[in-house]
Amino acid sequence: MPALSSQQRSLTRFLIEAQREGQINAELRLLIEVVARACKRISVAVGKGALGGVLGDAVAAGGDGGASINVQGEAQKKLDVLSNDILLEANAWGGHLAGLASEEMDHSQPIPDAYPRGNYLLLFDPLDGSSNIDVNVSVGTIFSVLRSPEGVAEVGDEHFLQAGREQVAAGYCIYGPSTMLILTLGHGTHAFTLDREQGSFVLTKRDMRIPEETKEFAINMSNQRHWEAPMQAYVRDLLAGKEGPRGKDFNMRWIASMVADVHRLLTRGGIFIYPWDRKDPSKAGKLRLMYEANPMAMLVEQAGGAATNGRTRILDVPPTQLHQRVPVFLGSKREVEEATRYHVDHD
Ligand code: AHM
Ligand code: MG
């Protein structure tokens, strides 16, 4: 098995160099290492597919054999539950966290008394896009890191309610044809590919840059009739192509797996939109602010893109609830500004 060549940089070396440059401290370095290690374990479980007996819905504990339902009212997949357990277990004892919060848990969890408490809070969606697992399409883990407020004996949900601009790190791991970790520590967005033989993430793209202009959009068009007027107008103009006000033809992609859709736009540009719609007016969109929109917005901004809720910057949205939803417009800067303008001009 060949060792890493001198040109190759492992995640460990990248993080040590970031620490030497003063971008992170040892505790945050450990945190990222632990999350990456947990993602490697999730990658193995996802990769086994049917052979691992991990496909399909999770069964509710102590129930009548019905599906287990999470706090969002969605049926949990076996791999959702397994991925959540892997992240919880990996992060409990290292001494780098004060608490954790997850899409799959009603409330945040403080680190148990048996272990030392650290200065950071970790939020995650353990397996985003999990409705795609059974059809063998890319899924991923999304995570966000915040500082724990000082002087708090035991953290609760309210301590996690910090605006996205306060994130000290964010990333996702995509389980696709290759497993990749996309990471920002607030100094650019960087891509690492898992070398399965070495068992380590290797830096494969430093400073990803999203092209400012694009001809590609990603949206679930089946919701079109439920959108508000400016959203209807924006997409109508995209679909009008060269003959329309935008003067160019647009292509459409929708994987229905946010990590895969965002990974495409980080790689070659594009705009990703999950807008508010009238299907359920009580919900402000489908995606969750704290562990989906905020980390993706930080990664996209750090790669030169933009991220709004259609009106304002996502990273400035004040959170009021742990599982709060938010409309999401992110990707190529000029295109996100254009889509946002349709909404602001309409108001
Ligand atoms: P999940 O967190 O329950 O997996 O839902 C989030 C996913 C995103 O990955 C994706 O962009 C979106 O839901 C797809 O929604 P839809 O099925 O409405 O197109
Ligand atoms: Mg999700």
Q: DSSP strand E in 160-214: where?
A: 169-175, 179-184, 189-195, 200-205
Ligand 1 atom at minimal distance to the Cα of residue 127: 4
| CA-closest candidate to residue 229, choices 270, 273, 274, 277 | 277
Pocket perturbation via mutation, ligand 1, pick of 74, 76, 131, 296 by most ligand atoms within 8 A of CB: 131
Query: Per-residue pLDDT averaged across 183-204, rounded?
Result: 97
* Backbone angles phi and psi of 220, in degrees to 5: -85, 100
Instruction: Specify burial of residue 224 (Cβ count, 10 A radius: 0-12, 13-18, 19+).
Output: middle
| CA-closest candidate to residue 310, choices 347, 260, 267 | 347
3 pLDDT band, cuts 50/70/90, is low
Ligand 1 atom at minimal distance to the Cα of residue 103: 2
- Shortest-distance ligand to the CA of residue 125: 2
Entry pTM: 0.94
Query: Per-residue pLDDT averaged across 64-88, rounded?
Result: 80
Q: What is the pLDDT of residue 201?
A: 98
> Looking at this predicted complex, what is its ipTM?
0.97
| CA-closest candidate to residue 253, choices 216, 225, 300, 296 | 216
- Give the pairing type, strands 216-218 and 271-274: parallel
Distance from the first to the final alpha carbon of the chain: 60
310 is in an annotated binding site: no
Give CA separation, 258 vs 47, 79, 150, 291, in Å. 19, 17, 33, 12
Ligand 1 atom at minimal distance to the Cα of residue 130: 4
- Shortest-distance ligand to the CA of residue 72: 1
| Cβ partners under 8 Å of residue 189, min gap 6 | 182, 183, 207, 208, 266, 299, 300, 302, 303
Q: What is the pLDDT of residue 55?
A: 76
Distance, in Å, from the CA atom of 182 to the CA atom of 187, rounded to the nearest integer, reads 13
Segment 237-274, tens digit of pLDDT: 999 999 999 999 999 999 999 999 999 999 999 999 99
- What residues are in contact with ligand 1 under a 6 Å CB criterion? 74, 103, 125, 128-130, 220, 256-258, 261, 274, 286
